Structure 1
Amino acid sequence: MFKQAILAFTAFMAMSSPADAQQSINPPLYVVRDADSTMYLYGTVHIRPRGADWGNDRVRAAITESQEVWTEIEISPAADAQAQQLAMQLGAAAPGRPLSSWLSAEENAQLAAALTGMGIPAAALEGQEPWIAALTLSVVPMMQAGFDPTSGVDRQVDVFAETGGKTMRSFETIEQQLGFFDNMAPEAQREMLREAIVQAPAAAAMITQLSNAWETGDEAALTTLVIEETRAQYPELYDLIFVQRNNAWMQVIANELNGSGVDFVAVGAGHLLGAEGLVAQLRARGYTVERVN
């Protein structure tokens, strides 16, 4: 389902209560070492319920041990403001190409129904390109169900690390991240929108499945839901989100491991998994990567 592919980029959502999460979460954490350097790899989710925990004691200890902490992009109020402005700019529909023109009459009716169910005016997305409209259809139901982007794991890692005086680093700019979607082929964007419309009513059940896999650190389930299905059904999106970005990040990671010290890398959990994931790529380069249990 394309919804899973969307969430692979924007968020894995967690549906359990904060109390349950704090008692039992065991998210994916790995470590790779050589003679003079250590790197922790933490698979994150980008949106969590308000107050839900973002890691366990092992994760906090790994950050405390580290000198540098890496996230996908810079996390700060200024970066957030830039992201909002850029999303509006890149996601604006081209003149004479409103969102409705991408869909059939039946699909436009389905879109209107989905928006009405969310309490959003039917014409609210008319001035958007398909990719950003699809993201809106994916994220809004989650926020309405009580999820908060400021509770995302990446953000909480950033707060914990900065409080501990760590040096904060990032792999990408927000321009690069949004550009992956904005540069998608028209037909891929259209399919992304169509699937987001169809899957919107099932978002809660889908997120529950994904979040349970993340909280228990179920690598097999996460690999199936996020990596294998995306690669099989949406190869272009898989290449954009995972292959190209992972390959670019690996160059940075390899350079860090060539140096010395301790680094903590916090990126979406899907980037660690699968044949093109960071864990597999490190092992292919001869590193021993261990799961921290």
Structure 2
Amino acid sequence: MQPRNMSMSGVVDLAAVKAAGEAKAKAEQARAQAARQGGGAPGAVPPEALVLTLDEAGFEDALQMSAEVPVVIAFWSERSPASKELAGLLERLAVEAAGRYVLAKVDVDASPLLVQQFGIQGIPAVFAVVAGQALPLFQGSAPEDQVRDTLDQLVQIAEQRFGITGLVVDAAAGTGAPAAAPPGPHDALLEAAMTALDAGDLAGAVQAYKNVLAEDPGHAEAKLGLAQAELLQRVQGVDPQAVRAAAAADPKDAAAQIAAADLDLVGGHVEDAFGRLVDTVRVTFGDDRDTVRLRLLELFEIVGAEDPRVVKARTALARVLF
């Protein structure tokens, strides 16, 4: 079954962006305080509060919780391997999101009334509840990048439309003061990647990051480092004038626009890079559009999800897509 994307049409209230941004800034300050102090910030919740088991008796509590954090509801069953796999992915992403949303898992065999209430036709099925309002996200299996993209948009909509910025997570809850982190299993490879970058050996850096990801596909530092190294590798040795001429000649040429956006970003013209690819998404279709969208999401990650230019471009992308 093909995934059904969430419709964002009509959800974004631009008049609320400023107030939501202020609320978000306060939440980020609280998260930073919790990180510096090893947790213990006022109102902080333990990490286990990010993944819940939801049944019919607890649904009202989930509705109330949705006033302060988006609640992602995943319907699954032991009878469905695909739903179990998606639920596992969602658990990992919820922990990575660090309180920007919570995951509530519903066993369809144990909660038939919730299945009926949400009109579930098949599993896996994923909804969200924001400020008491239910939104369908997707039904059926979906690749990780699409799941991440949809959840990122959910967080953005919750912030902009409702001023909901999520929970502060106390990472040290129940453990006392955090101990010094032991050396990571991939520190040597990461150091090799940085040494290669410093020496201008982009191919070596790319391979070092790939070696880390081969053992740990979710390693955030390696994923970011790989994206940065590959960006530098793509622009190495290209003729900027030829690239920009090709992009100017055909606004619908996805490859030409992507190449020009890479040059824009490396040259420090971040908004130009984002604007170029958003415009290209607007005028392309099918595989070309998806290729451009994915490159734009990659550039977002390189710049940083909290950068105001990324937030602005995500809003523009959401308007184009939905």
- Could you say which structure has the greater relative contact order, defined with CA pairs below 8 angstroms and 6 or more residues apart? 1
* TM-score, L = length of structure 1: 0.25
Q: Rg bigger for which structure?
A: 2
* TM-score, L = length of structure 2: 0.23
